[in-house]
């Protein structure tokens, strides 16, 4: 099962071999899409489950697709032992060619025939966690994108949809619970202590949505009646000790069901909806029809073990997978290039769900800011690096490498722009048309955009549809330059917007996009000015806010009757995923920060201001004394902190300086140590200059009463945590022992994990001597809680060095922790909590002048690749941006990537990443 040999074998037979430059023979191209030569109408699978050798009998009803020329049937398979192939009950001749099972002499014509295939596989040896595997004595499957072929031979592609009947047979004592998709139709006893269960899924589905689970699990159950009167059974399956941690997940599932009914009119279409949690999982969760499988991290939550962030993540991921039931499962992707059809849309839906759950306008803005922060830090970096690809990619070597921030987060922004261009009601109409047209089909991103536009024929989306769709085909983040010109005599304000998109690998030429720019104008006293836009038709009264549609490279918009030189508030709510350049002075930023009616842009003003200060400090050079924050900026922050109208969570975001990763992306040449030093110095100054305010904030916010994970109380805890961290940080300067003591106390006595963890990290991040005993105690208390241990590893991997000398370095600490009895490279969550947290979450610890961090990274990529290629390929991406690094980091980073690239054997997952990284332009 763990075949990681470079595999021309699993190349689809029709993949192009020649006539293209610069891509490998294993590259799959979107343009080469061909409909399948056969359909598989139904599948009956029988599993005899055994960890060492599971037997799989696969009986299919197959029929030729008469719309394409007659050709052999080529079934995908990987790591299977083939025992028997029967066609209409007779032994059939077949070949194994490049991993595929090829059947040539099949019945002619369009009449269906029976195809029976018997194979075995070894789930206990499956460390890739793709296909059928065993985790802690329970069988699980993961089939997206191409894991089903590791279970049986099949047309493993999303446009082949079949009805499944699944019979599971296993030892009853070891595997009392037997689950698969759909409805349980039969169960009973077998000989020798074995039992069986038969499941039937009424909906046609592609193979990637198949799932089975078998093991000793228990379930929280809930019966609900939907709006339409239909009854459903909801179940959340976990290991016996975890049942009390599933209440929040169940509540989130019920909220998701209600939300999709209300917001989109989409009801649950199954009698039974199951979620199962496993601690060994490559990603967050999987939307298998009726049987979602989740990483425990996104199911289990109790106030003692989970932070507010964990609670919010559970709600959002449960929502996401549930929403896939319509956007992904009922309507699926024609091919994997269309992945964003389901992922971008479903992320948009889960973002809206979380916003609606958050309630108040400012809590909604907090969620939006968090989403945009992720997009701008991570996706913009991806879009500017060697793995840049369009939302609908043109080619891939390994599809699992394309479950990216671009497909998910930028894809969601593309859907959000459509929503902006057609309006809330128009979008709902568009969704209705999409389901009317395509329910039960496997379709493309074009089909989706067409449905939204057709439902709104007068909208700017419909008018500019072809151009809008460039968002799907063009990679790279667009830049928009805004220049404002005020004419006092004419009382006009002219805004000129210019768009450009930098070239990306393989895509040199870029064309203008459709960019919705939501905006308002503020007077110098902060009041919103009425917008009167001059157009060919005369003057349009637009009220206090409008959305301009930029469609040319450069366009000017003139507003009339503007009584004073206004402060423009552009791209409100981040109305398009672009980098906005505008030269606002401190006065303008202060006005926006204090008065803008759009909370997103208030936050944005604070970030731009901070960014400018940081860039200036970086430019000032090393010789200068510790950089400081200007008094005016500090005064604005003090003012904001004292504003009783604002949500604590919002204040916390405004008071957070841009991250080191975000700062790095704004620079041409990156010295991670220098960025760290400057940001740390400014943080120290923020701690010092606002000391009195931090004390007040702590006093006012640290008691949040009985624990509730709602957005409002979570915001209070976040702000209190920030205040405590600042006070402990400032104690390094003052030598004060009181605040560190209070932090230790709060760590010990906290009534919930958020407060406890915030206090612990305040000590660890400040490198205080109390950090060590606190970490020890934390491990002692939570040694049986694996998700909490992940936090323990992660905190240490992402904290600064705790002293001088190599032994005190972060790398030395990480290497020691790898020897800890609780560490295992095989468990993806644990590997992520230590190794990824170091390589991706601790720039100053990782980017060492001696290159030792990079060497460690290379070793771990190679070690992981032998276990789990998908996880290894994620880690491999940590050095994507090597070409931007200053010396000596750059050369050392490149050498480490080259070392991975030269290693044999290497999975095609990792190979694609490192080859693309090495091909990055030299600048
Ligand atoms: N669709 C899955 C992701 C599958 C990843 C395969 N490498 C989870 C999700 O996006 O909901
Ligand atoms: Zn998804």
Among 299, 403, 869, 913, the mutation site with the greatest number of ligand 1 atoms within 8 A of its Cβ is: 403
Please state whether beta strands 291-295 and 161-171 pair in parallel, antiparallel, or not at all (unpaired): unpaired
Averaged pLDDT of the chain: 96
* Predicted pLDDT at 25: 57
Q: Is 67 helix (H, G, I), strand (E, B) or coil?
A: coil
Q: Which residues pair with 133 in a beta bridge?
A: 140
Closest CA to ligand 1's atom 10 = 343
Closest CA to ligand 1's atom 9 = 286
CATH level 3 topology of 331-472: Neutral Protease; domain 2 (1.10.390)
* Predicted pLDDT at 623: 58
Q: Is 383 helix (H, G, I), strand (E, B) or coil?
A: helix
* Predicted pLDDT at 920: 78
* Predicted pLDDT at 15: 34
Position 10 pLDDT exceeds 60: no
pLDDT digits (tens, 9 = 90+) for 31-47: 999 999 999 999 999 99
* Predicted pLDDT at 622: 65
Distance between CA atoms of residues 291 and 293, nearest Å: 6
* Predicted pLDDT at 624: 63
* Predicted pLDDT at 6: 30
Give the distance (Å) from ligand 1 centre to CA of residue 834.
23
Distance between CA atoms of residues 574 and 412, nearest Å: 13
Q: Give the tokens for residue 910.
A: 């990792």
Position 23 pLDDT exceeds 70: no
Q: Give the tokens for residue 689.
A: 């200059």
Smallest Cα–Cα separation from 622: which of 688, 689, 671? 671
Q: CATH assignment of 40-215?
A: 2.60.40.1730
Distance between CA atoms of residues 17 and 164, nearest Å: 35
Domain 584-782: give its CATH superfamily.
Answer: Peptidase M1, alanyl aminopeptidase, C-terminal domain (1.25.50.10)
Is 521 exposed, middle or buried, given 0-12, 13-18 or 19+ CB atoms closer than 10 A? Answer: buried
Contact residues for 782 (Cβ-Cβ < 8 A; gap 6+): 305, 788, 789, 792
pLDDT bracket for residue 704 (50, 70, 90): confident
Cβ pair 897, 915 in contact under 8 A: no
Cβ pair 181, 204 in contact under 8 A: no
- b/e string for 146-177 if b means 16 or more Cβ within 10 A? bbbbbbbbbbbbbbbbbbbbbbbbbeeebbeb
Among 143, 285, 322, the mutation site with the greatest number of ligand 1 atoms within 8 A of its Cβ is: 285
Give the distance (Å) from ligand 1 centre to CA of residue 326.
15
Q: Is the CB of 286 under 6 A from ligand 1?
A: yes
End-to-end C-alpha distance for the chain, whole angstroms: 41
In ligand 1, the atom with minimum distance to the C-alpha of 145 is 6
What ligand is nearest to the CA atom of residue 283? 1
Position 317 pLDDT exceeds 90: yes
Q: Is the CB of 398 under 6 A from ligand 1?
A: no
Cβ pair 502, 529 in contact under 8 A: no
In ligand 1, the atom with minimum distance to the C-alpha of 324 is 11
Q: Give the tokens for residue 357.
A: 């759950």
Q: How many CB atoms lie within 10 A of CB 558?
A: 18
Among 343, 353, 409, the mutation site with the greatest number of ligand 1 atoms within 8 A of its Cβ is: 343
What average pLDDT score do residues 673-681 get?
97
Dihedral over Cα of 862, 866, 869, 875: its sign: negative
In ligand 1, the atom with minimum distance to the C-alpha of 282 is 7
Smallest Cα–Cα separation from 294: which of 313, 316, 317? 317
pLDDT digits (tens, 9 = 90+) for 251-266: 999 999 999 999 999 9
Distance between CA atoms of residues 473 and 460, nearest Å: 19
- Give the alpha-carbon dihedral of 311, 316, 317, 322, to 10 degrees: 130
Q: How many CB atoms lie within 10 A of CB 620?
A: 12
Closest CA to ligand 1's atom 2 = 286
What ligand is nearest to the CA atom of residue 346? 2
Q: Give the tokens for residue 640.
A: 């904001």
* Predicted pLDDT at 74: 98
In ligand 1, the atom with minimum distance to the C-alpha of 285 is 8
Give the distance (Å) from ligand 1 centre to CA of residue 531.
44
What ligand is nearest to the CA atom of residue 347? 2
* Residue 57 vs residues 39, 488, 493, 653, 769: alpha-carbon distances, Å: 19, 81, 73, 55, 61
Closest CA to ligand 1's atom 1 = 286
Q: Is the CB of 409 under 6 A from ligand 1?
A: no
Please state whether beta strands 479-487 and 546-550 pair in parallel, antiparallel, or not at all (unpaired): unpaired
Distance between CA atoms of residues 542 and 546, nearest Å: 6
* Predicted TM-score (pTM) of this structure: 0.97
Among 286, 404, 828, the mutation site with the greatest number of ligand 1 atoms within 8 A of its Cβ is: 286
Closest CA to ligand 1's atom 3 = 286
Give the distance (Å) from ligand 2 centre to CA of residue 28.
22
CATH number (2.60.40.1840, 3.30.70.1070, 3.30.499.10, 2.60.120.200) of 479-579 reads 2.60.40.1840
Contact residues for 64 (Cβ-Cβ < 8 A; gap 6+): 37, 38, 39, 70, 106, 109, 110
Locate tokens 């046609």: which residue? 204
- Look up residue 905 and give its DSSP letter: S
Smallest Cα–Cα separation from 234: which of 253, 210, 217? 253
Among 146, 281, 287, the mutation site with the greatest number of ligand 1 atoms within 8 A of its Cβ is: 287
pLDDT digits (tens, 9 = 90+) for 831-885: 999 999 999 999 999 999 999 999 999 999 999 999 999 999 999 999 999 999 9
What average pLDDT score do residues 707-711 get?
96
Locate tokens 């083939």: which residue? 82
Position 609 pLDDT exceeds 60: yes
In ligand 1, the atom with minimum distance to the C-alpha of 144 is 6
Give the distance (Å) from ligand 1 centre to CA of residue 286.
5
Distance between CA atoms of residues 589 and 585, nearest Å: 6
Give the distance (Å) from ligand 1 centre to CA of residue 273.
18
Position 11 pLDDT exceeds 70: no
Locate tokens 């460390």: which residue? 127
Task: Please tell me whether the peptide bond between 145 and the residue prior to it is cis, using omega within 30 degrees of 0.
Answer: yes
Locate tokens 């009119």: which residue? 265
Distance between CA atoms of residues 415 and 403, nearest Å: 17
Q: Is the CB of 909 under 6 A from ligand 1?
A: no
Q: Is 363 helix (H, G, I), strand (E, B) or coil?
A: helix
What ligand is nearest to the CA atom of residue 144? 1
Task: Please tell me whether the peptide bond between 888 and the residue prior to it is cis, using omega within 30 degrees of 0.
Answer: yes
Distance between CA atoms of residues 594 and 523, nearest Å: 12
Position 712 pLDDT exceeds 90: yes
Q: Is the CB of 339 under 6 A from ligand 1?
A: no
* Predicted pLDDT at 350: 98
Q: Is the CB of 302 under 6 A from ligand 1?
A: no
Helix (H) or strand (E) holding 559, with range, is strand 554-559
What ligand is nearest to the CA atom of residue 130? 1
Structurally, at CATH architecture level, domain 217-299 sits in: 2-Layer Sandwich (3.30)
What ligand is nearest to the CA atom of residue 208? 1
Helix-, strand-, coil-residue percentages of the chain, each rounded to 5: 45, 20, 35
Q: What percent of the chain is predicted at pLDDT more than 70?
A: 97
Cβ pair 498, 569 in contact under 8 A: no
Q: Is the CB of 702 under 6 A from ligand 1?
A: no
Distance between CA atoms of residues 603 and 593, nearest Å: 7
Give the distance (Å) from ligand 2 centre to CA of residue 752.
30
* Residue 885 vs residues 100, 108, 127, 665, 847: alpha-carbon distances, Å: 43, 61, 35, 10, 9
Contact residues for 793 (Cβ-Cβ < 8 A; gap 6+): 817, 822, 823, 830, 833, 834, 837
Give the distance (Å) from ligand 1 centre to CA of residue 343.
8
Distance between CA atoms of residues 215 and 402, nearest Å: 32
Position 21 pLDDT exceeds 60: no
DSSP letter string, 792-853? HHHHHHHSPPSSSSGGGSHHHHHHHHHTSTT--SSSHHHHIIIIIHHHHH-HHHHS-TTSHH
* Residue 75 vs residues 31, 60, 85, 101, 553: alpha-carbon distances, Å: 21, 12, 12, 5, 48
Smallest Cα–Cα separation from 409: which of 365, 378, 385, 375? 375
- Look up residue 880 and give its DSSP letter: T
Smallest Cα–Cα separation from 608: which of 642, 583, 571? 583
pLDDT digits (tens, 9 = 90+) for 774-803: 999 999 999 999 999 999 999 999 999 988
Q: Is the CB of 209 under 6 A from ligand 1?
A: no
Please state whether beta strands 231-238 and 272-278 pair in parallel, antiparallel, or not at all (unpaired): parallel
In ligand 1, the atom with minimum distance to the C-alpha of 343 is 10
Give the distance (Å) from ligand 2 centre to CA of residue 113.
35
pLDDT digits (tens, 9 = 90+) for 44-80: 999 999 999 999 999 999 999 999 999 999 999 999 9
Task: Please tell me whether the peptide bond between 905 and the residue prior to it is cis, using omega within 30 degrees of 0.
Answer: yes
pLDDT digits (tens, 9 = 90+) for 360-405: 888 999 999 999 999 999 999 999 999 999 999 999 999 999 999 9
* Predicted pLDDT at 803: 87
Smallest Cα–Cα separation from 907: which of 403, 398, 404? 398
Q: Give the tokens for residue 624.
A: 């200068």
Sheet strand arrangement including 95-97: 73-75, 100-103, 95-97
| Active site residues per annotation | 321
Smallest Cα–Cα separation from 374: which of 715, 662, 717? 662
Q: Is the CB of 295 under 6 A from ligand 1?
A: no
pLDDT digits (tens, 9 = 90+) for 549-607: 999 999 999 999 999 999 999 999 999 999 999 999 999 999 999 999 999 999 999 99
* Predicted pLDDT at 3: 33
Cβ pair 839, 874 in contact under 8 A: no
Position 14 pLDDT exceeds 60: no
Give how far the C-alpha of residue 72 lies from the chain's centroid of Cα atoms, to the nearest Å.
39
Give the distance (Å) from ligand 1 centre to CA of residue 208.
10
pLDDT bracket for residue 428 (50, 70, 90): very high
pLDDT bracket for residue 630 (50, 70, 90): very high
Give the distance (Å) from ligand 2 centre to CA of residue 345.
9
């Amino acid at each position: 099962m763990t075949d990681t040999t470079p595999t021309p074998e699993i190349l689809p037979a029709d993949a192009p071999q020649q006539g293209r430059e610069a891509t490998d023979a294993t590259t799959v191209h979107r343009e080469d899409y061909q409909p399948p030569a056969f359909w598989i109408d139904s599948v009956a699978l029988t599993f005899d489950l055994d960890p060492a050798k599971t037997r799989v009998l696969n009986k299919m009803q197959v029929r030729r697709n008469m719309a394409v020329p007659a050709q052999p049937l080529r079934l995908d398979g990987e790591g299977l032992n083939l025992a028997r192939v029967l066609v209409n009950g007779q032994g059939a001749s077949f070949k194994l060619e490049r991993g595929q099972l090829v059947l040539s002499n099949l019945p002619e014509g369009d009449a269906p025939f029976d195809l029976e295939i018997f194979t075995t596989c070894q789930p206990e040896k499956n460390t890739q966690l793709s296909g059928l595997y065993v985790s802690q004595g329970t069988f699980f499957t993961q089939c997206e994108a191409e894991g089903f072929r590791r279970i049986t031979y099949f047309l493993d592609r999303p446009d082949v949809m079949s009805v499944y009947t699944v019979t599971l047979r296993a030892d009853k004592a070891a595997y009392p619970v037997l689950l698969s998709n759909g409805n349980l139709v039969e169960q009973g006893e077998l000989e020798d202590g074995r039992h069986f269960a038969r499941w039937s899924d009424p909906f046609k589905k592609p193979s990637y949505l198949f799932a089975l689970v078998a093991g000793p699990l228990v379930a929280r159950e809930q019966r609900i009646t939907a709006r339409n009167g239909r009854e459903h059974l909801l179940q959340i399956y976990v290991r016996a000790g975890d049942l009390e941690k599933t209440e929040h997940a169940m509540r989130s599932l019920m909220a998701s069901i209600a939300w999709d009914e209300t917001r989109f009119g989409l009801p649950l279409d199954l009698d039974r909806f199951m979620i199962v949690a496993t601690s060994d999982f490559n990603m967050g969760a999987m939307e298998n029809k009726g049987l979602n499988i989740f990483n425990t991290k996104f199911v289990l939550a109790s106030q003692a073990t989970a932070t507010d962030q964990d609670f919010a993540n559970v709600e959002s991921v449960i929502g996401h997978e549930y929403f896939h039931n319509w956007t992904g499962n009922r309507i699926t992707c024609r091919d994997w290039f269309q992945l964003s059809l389901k992922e971008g849309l479903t992320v948009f839906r889960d973002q809206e769900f979380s916003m609606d759950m958050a309630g108040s306008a400012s809590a909604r803005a907090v969620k939006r800011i968090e989403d945009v922060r992720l997009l701008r830090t991570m996706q913009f970096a991806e879009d500017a690096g060697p793995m840049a690809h369009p939302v609908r990619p043109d080619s891939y070597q390994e599809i699992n490498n394309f479950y990216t921030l671009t497909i998910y987060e930028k894809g969601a922004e593309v859907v959000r722009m459509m929503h902006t261009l057609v309006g809330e009601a128009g979008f709902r109409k568009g969704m209705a048309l999409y389901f009317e047209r395509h329910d039960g089909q496997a379709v493309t991103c074009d089909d989706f955009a067409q449905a939204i536009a057709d439902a709104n024929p007068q909208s700017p989306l419909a008018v500019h549809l072809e151009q809008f769709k460039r968002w799907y085909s063009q990679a790279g983040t667009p830049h928009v330059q805004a220049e404002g010109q005020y004419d006092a005599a004419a009382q006009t304000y002219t805004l000129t917007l210019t768009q450009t998109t930098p070239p990306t690998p393989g895509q040199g030429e870029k064309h203008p996009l459709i960019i919705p720019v939501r905006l308002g104008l503020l007077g110098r006293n902060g009041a919103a000015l009425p917008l009167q836009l001059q157009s060919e038709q005369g003057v349009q009264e637009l009220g206090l806010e409008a959305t301009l549609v930029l469609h040319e490279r450069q366009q000017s918009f003139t507003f009339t009757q503007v009584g004073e030189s206004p402060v423009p508030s552009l791209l409100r709510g981040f109305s398009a995923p672009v980098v906005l350049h505008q030269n606002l002075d401190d006065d303008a930023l202060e006005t926006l920060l204090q008065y803008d009616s759009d909370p997103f842009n208030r936050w944005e003003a604070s970030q731009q201001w901070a960014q400018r200060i940081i860039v200036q400090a970086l430019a000032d050079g090393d010789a200068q004394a510790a950089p400081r924050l200007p008094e005016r900026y500090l005064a604005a922050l003090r003012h904001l902190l004292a504003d009783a109208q604002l949500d604590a969570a919002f204040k916390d975001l405004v008071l957070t300086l841009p991250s080191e990763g975000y700062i790095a992306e704004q620079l041409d040449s990156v010295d991670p140590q220098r960025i760290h030093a400057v940001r740390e110095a400014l943080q120290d100054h923020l701690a010092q200059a606002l000391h009195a305010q931090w004390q007040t904030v702590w006093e006012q916010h640290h008691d949040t009463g009985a624990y509730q994970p709602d957005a409002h109380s979570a915001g209070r805890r976040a702000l209190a945590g920030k205040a405590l961290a600042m006070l402990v940080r400032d104690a390094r300067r003052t030598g004060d022992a009181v605040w560190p003591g209070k932090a230790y106390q709060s760590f010990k006595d906290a009534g919930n994990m958020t407060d406890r963890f915030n206090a612990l990290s305040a000590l660890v991040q400040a490198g205080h001597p109390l950090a060590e005993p606190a970490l020890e105690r934390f491990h002692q208390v939570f040694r049986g809680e694996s998700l909490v241990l992940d936090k323990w590893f992660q905190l240490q991997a992402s904290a600064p060095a705790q002293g001088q000398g190599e032994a005190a370095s972060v790398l030395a600490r990480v290497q020691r922790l790898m020897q800890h009895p609780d560490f295992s490279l095989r468990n993806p969550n644990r590997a992520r909590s230590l190794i990824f947290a170091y390589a991706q979450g601790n720039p100053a610890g990782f980017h060492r002048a001696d290159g030792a961090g990079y060497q460690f990274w290379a070793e771990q990529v190679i070690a992981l690749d032998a276990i789990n290629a998908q996880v290894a390929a994620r880690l491999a991406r940590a050095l994507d941006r090597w070409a931007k690094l200053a010396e000596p980091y750059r050369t050392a980073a490149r050498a480490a990537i080259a070392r991975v690239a030269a290693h044999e054997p290497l999975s095609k997952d990792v190979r694609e990443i490192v080859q693309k990284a090495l091909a990055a332009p030299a600048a």
